[in-house]
Amino acid sequence: MLKTLFAGLALAAATFMTGSASAQAWDPKITDTDYVLGKADAPVTMLEFASFTCPHCAAFANDVLPQIEKTYIDSGKVKLVFRQFPLNGLDLRAGMMARCAPREQYFNIAKVLFQTQTSWATAKDPIAALAQIGGMAGLPKDKFDACLADNSVADAIVKLGQDATTAYQVNATPTFVVEGEKIEGEASFDTFKALFDKKLAEKGVATN
């Protein structure tokens, strides 16, 4: 099943590798199923496409995101929409666990997954390590097992990857889209600050 799902993702990547996010009309298409960090009415929206097993994604989450939260998200100027871009079966299962835990725990789980990535992702039994993280977030073992056996949860995550490739030509992680402008790979806080400030200024919002 997973082989089929990832084959579909690869096909989508091969089909939609042309164009640029900035050339399209900006519509992040946020729904109730999205995981949003920040105020719903924040004037600037940033999409993050990330993999839980990606070291560069962990570096962003651990080192850059806290600065963005303090300066822009907590102040209500920017909201972050996190969309998983699955790169492998283990990453897919980590995302499934995060989705099946209580919804309010999603970003806490993501934080733990990125902070402890080198431990659980390289563990002798990484699935058991994921079950332990899920348990701490309110997902008991029986529900964890049922979650990982639920193809609909896997399908939803793989579709996120396919949609990201279609809409924004995402083919690697992390990738960010801020009001239609794309940043690929690791970037410093100053890079995000410059883009946030530009977008806020365009909307007539003071940056300090």
Burial class (CB in 10 A: 0-12, 13-18, 19+), 139: buried
pLDDT per residue over 130-139, tens digit each? Answer: 999 999 999 9
Residues of the chain with pLDDT under 70: 1-25
The CA distance from 101 to 196, in Å, is 32
Contact 22/180 with Cβ under 8 angstroms? yes
Global pTM exceeds 0.75: yes
Write the DSSP symbol of residue 140: -
- CATH fold, domain 2-7+42-190, is Glutaredoxin (3.40.30)
Domain ranges (residues) in the chain: 2-7+42-190
pLDDT per residue over 87-127, tens digit each? Answer: 999 999 999 999 999 999 999 999 999 999 999 999 999 99
Q: Which two tokens stand for residue 70?
A: 């303090």
